[in-house]
Amino acid sequence: MKRCPQCLFLYPDSDVKCDFDQTALEEVDDSALESATRPKRRRALPVVAAVGLILAVLVVALYYRLNQSRNTSTATERSIDFQPTPAPSVAAPSPSPSAALQPSPSPSPTASPKASPSISTAHTRATSDPVSTSGPGIGTRQGGKPVIMLTSGGKIDADEVWRTKDGVWYRRNGIVTLLKRGQVKNIVTR
């Protein structure tokens, strides 16, 4: 076999020059070919990988141990520092008995605020709930529970339902949710 000294490409014995760089080929014996074609043993790579793995495990163990000791120390500090203070006792004033009946104060008449014609609201009446969720058309006060029929074929049993320009709002178990108009097929009352 022959080999190019520049690019180390192998050629048959009949060739004289390298096809790539036109360099004269030199004769190579079989032992040189075997050593050139045999993969070199890389012992350093597994050693470096093993050392890196060991270091990574040590760092994780150290981090875990520090976190564990920090959590236990803060937990003991919290349990030591926590001492409930008794609430001060306040004596409730006792009502003095009175033989004469006193009339209850009547509310003073106030001018009712006039709604501006440019302001429109979707809710026409208020409820005693923390969030006013009643609407003009459908609710529990009209005789039954509303059911929202979805375009996907599903249905939602709601406590109250009302429509706005944003879509259909409903309240169920105290949670208020908005559905887009395209999701609602129909609203019925049971």
pLDDT at position 54 is 96
Number of neighbouring beta carbons within 10 Å of residue 146: 24
Give me the pLDDT at residue 140, please. 44
Long-range residue pairs from 32-41, CB within 8 A, at least 24 positions apart, any chain: 33/1, 36/8
Query: Per-residue pLDDT tens for 93-151?
Result: 666 555 555 665 655 555 555 544 544 444 444 444 444 444 444 444 556 889 999 99
The CATH number of whichever domain residue 176 belongs to comes to 2.30.30.100
* Residue 12, domain member (yes or no): yes
Q: Is residue 153 part of a domain?
A: yes
Domain count, the chain: 3
Residue 184 is assigned to a structural domain of this protein: yes
Among 33-37, 56-60, 157-161, 168-172, name the one with the lowest average pLDDT.
33-37
Identify the domain containing residue 19 by its residue range. Answer: 2-37
Q: Residue 66 pLDDT > 70, yes or no?
A: yes
Does the residue 160 lie in any domain?
A: yes
> How confident is the prediction for the chain on average, in pLDDT?
74
Question: Would you call 147 exposed, middle or buried from its count of C-beta atoms within 10 A (0-12, 13-18, 19+)?
Answer: middle
User: Quick check: is 125 in a domain?
Assistant: no
Residues 18 and 57 in one domain: no
With respect to residue 97, please indicate whether it lies within any of the assigned structural domains.
Answer: no
Are 55 and 73 within one domain?
A: yes
* Residue, of 65 and 130, whose pLDDT is higher: 65
Is the pTM higher than 0.85? The answer reads no
Q: Cβ atoms within 10 A of the Cβ of 174, count?
A: 10
User: Is 138 in contact with 147 (CB distance < 8 Å)?
Assistant: no
Greater pLDDT, 166 or 94 = 166
- Say if residues 25 and 11 touch (Cβ distance below 8 Å): yes
**What is the Cα–Cα distance from 164 to 26, expressed in whole angstroms?**
90
Supply the pLDDT for residue 77: 58
In this predicted structure, what is the pLDDT of residue 147? 92
Strand 160-163: give its sheet, edge to edge: 160-163, 168-172, 175-179
Q: Quick check: is 62 in a domain?
A: yes
| Mean pLDDT of all residues in 154-173 | 91
Q: What is the pLDDT of residue 19?
A: 86
Residue 145 lies in a domain: yes
Which whole number is the average pLDDT over 178-189?
A: 90
Selected residue with higher pLDDT from 128 and 20: 20
What integer pLDDT is reported at residue 32 of this predicted model?
74
Residue 171 confidence (pLDDT) above 90 = yes
